[in-house]
Chain A
Amino acid sequence: MKEELEQIMARYPQPRSAIMPMLHLVQSYEGYVSDAGVELVAELLGLTIAQVRGVSTFYTQYRQHPAGKHHIGVCATALCAVLGGDAVYAAVSEKLGIKADETTADGLFSLERIECNAACDFAPVMMINWEFMDNMTPEKAVAILDDLAAGKPVQPERGATLTSWKENERVLAGFYDGRADEGVSAGVSSLRSTPKGGKK
């Protein structure tokens, strides 16, 4: 991990700018922002533990305890909530037997009520490992959880086949996983103005 953390630092004119991708990388190894990870980041950047914790506690994507293999986010902001996000959240919470910011005992799933995820034209929106699961319904959500629990491949509406939250944290740390060519160019709602076959 240390070597990769140093690679991240080298991307920036000033190393401290690397702290956010570094914390994403820590999560991809540890499943959360661990004490050991914070100490290493602090040492590399020449910061105090408090300075690094100050950053890691400010941003909601940094977890203070382990996430599940699959991290489920259900949008609870106004438009998604009204269009059925609350019902989707209730169904997922009941199915998994956990509430927001909890992880199932088998470590397979964690749950979060997320704020607007920039996909309102596909509402209600659910994110799994930060991939777009568009136009969600309670029934669809439960079926997806069943598939994931059974180890079946799940393809997001717009995104790459689900692997794990940890693997996607690595992408957010800036380590490309070679999977940009998976998934569609755009969902149906994105293409309302777009001529079929494109317009030159």
Chain B
Amino acid sequence: MTELLTPILSANWGVDKSWTLKSYLSFDGFEGAKKALKLKPEEVLEIVKESGLRGRGGAGFPTGTKWSFVPQDNPNPKYLVVNADESEPGTCKDMPLLLASPHTLLEGIVIASYAIHCHTAFVYVRGEVAHVARRLQAAVAELYAAGWLGKDIQGSGFDLDVVVHSGAGAYICGEETALLDSLEGKRGQPRLRPPFPAVAGLYASPTVINNVESISSVPCILRNGAEWFSAMGTEKSKGFTIYSLSGHVAKPGQYEAPLGTTFAQLLECAGGMRAGHELKFFTPGGSSTPILTPADVDIPMDYEGMVGAGTMLGTKALQVFDETTSIVRTTLRWSEFYAHESCGKCTPCREGTGWLVQLLKRLEAGQGHEGDVDKLLSVCDDINGLSFCALAGGAVACVTSAVKHFREEFELGYTTPAWEAFPYELSTAWAGGAK
């Protein structure tokens, strides 16, 4: 099954000092940027459009199209902001990428900035990862010294500065407009759209915001061509991506494969479930994407396939749980996450996520009241679609999809504590079924 894997972004992660420019150059590093700087910016943009690359941070919006929305007749500076605030529960692909190969992202930044006429780019990296910040800081310094950043890059006449900006622990700043407010030095709360960031983003100037993996996928497209990229994947979901498997699988980790690979195929790559256990449920792309069950394992994991299954591809963060897991406990812990991370701007989300936690806590403790499951769904109705940003939708999706598939288990919470029905020690990583 490993022949299915397509190590492209992760090809160089295993070598000694992979994070250095010297190592990156030995993997054809900056060949894509060299090609780009010989083309006109519009030609670079066209190649990225033709490749069919879509955003890898969750929404799946075509990357080249996003870039083309930047109004070039706007007199303000254009900005590129890379969203490295990876915090969606289950999502763990961007941090290893930046740890092992920060230059992949930085080469992508050079190309993307050139394409949209941007001269100042930002990497907004979550704050709770000191070593990722170090590797990025060192890589940026190397590129200034090597003439790949700063004035007149490689004699092309193109100028670019990159600022690495560490956040300070707020999931909401992964939402692009909240990220912009945060980068402007304010509380990170989402903005009303329109205007969209492409027109009025950072400092009310045209701004492109892309995920780490999206921008990191650009150098290989320039290096190998749009056709090379679009030959992989499915009709509308082109190329390859990093699927992150975690939880009760034999070999959790990062699996780079063409879009449209099925969960069953990925699970086989990961050595199956831990020994002696069965799949109960999984998230396709983080906790904000409705959960799936063993009935869904053969659906292609691309943007369309997941929408067809009533969920979303999201960040391709496959959190995998076996039959020892209490769905009530898991849902409670996701709900606590959303309640903690709600920015407080919109009342339905701020108050509603707290109510969900209260209801789920008593269901977990076996002290639920008759009708609590319906009440849970009713609170979800009062949150969903009534807030500025997608956090509220994510907070609701994990609850409604869990109730849809496992309603009896929630109703068991009227009488029986979850820890009695599903002894928690059996779910731990050290409970057996060694990795």
Contacts and interface: CB of A to CB of B under 8 A. Distances in A.
Interface of A: 11-14, 16-21, 23-24, 45, 54-55, 58-62, 73, 76-79, 81-84, 86-87, 114-124, 127, 129-132, 135, 137, 156, 158-160, 168, 171-174, 176-177, 179-183, 185-200
B237 interface: no
B429 A190 contact: no
B34 to A, nearest CB: 17
Given A61-B127, A82-B321, A195-B14, 16 more contacts: A17-B165, A20-B185, A24-B127, A60-B169, A77-B337, A83-B429, A115-B171, A127-B128, A130-B130, A131-B131, A159-B131, A160-B131, A176-B137, A180-B131, A186-B14, A198-B13
Interface string B8-34: 001111111111100000111000000
B251 interface: yes
B94 interface: yes
29 contacts: A24-B127, A61-B167, A61-B169, A62-B168, A77-B89, A78-B319, A81-B329, A82-B321, A87-B425, A115-B87, A116-B171, A117-B129, A120-B92, A120-B319, A121-B253, A124-B429, A137-B429, A160-B130, A172-B133, A172-B166, A180-B138, A185-B18, A185-B19, A192-B254, A193-B254, A196-B14, A198-B18, A200-B26, A200-B27
Contacts of B16: 185
B394 to A, nearest CB: 12
A78 B287 contact: yes
B295 to A, nearest CB: 22
B14 A194 contact: yes
Nearest to A58: B187
B244 interface: yes
Interface residues of B, number: 97
B12 A198 contact: yes
A192 B99 CA distance: 16
Given A123-B252, A185-B16, A193-B255, A117 B128 contact: yes
Given A59-B170, A123-B429, A185 B100 contact: yes
A83 B163 CA distance: 37
Given A115-B337, A176-B138, A176-B141, A121 B185 contact: no
B96 interface: yes
B127 A172 contact: yes
Contacts of A61: 127-128, 167-169
Contacts of B90: 79, 116, 120
Interface string B414-435: 0000000000110111100001
A189 B325 contact: no
Contact of A20 (B11, B92, B166, B429): B166
Contacts of B107: none
B254 A11 contact: no
Contacts of A58: 170, 187-188, 343
Closest 3 CB pairs of A and B: A59-B168, A189-B253, A16-B185
Contact of A198 (B15, B331, B424, B428): B15
Contacts of A124: 428-429
A77 B270 CA distance: 23
Contacts of A12: 163
Contacts of B246: 79, 120-121, 123
Nearest to A135: B429
Nearest to B247: A79
A191 B2 CA distance: 13
Nearest to B252: A121
B222 interface: no
B213 interface: no
B128 A171 contact: no
B131 A183 contact: yes
Interface in B240-270: 244-248, 251-257, 269-270
A117 to B, nearest CB: 6
A20 B131 contact: no
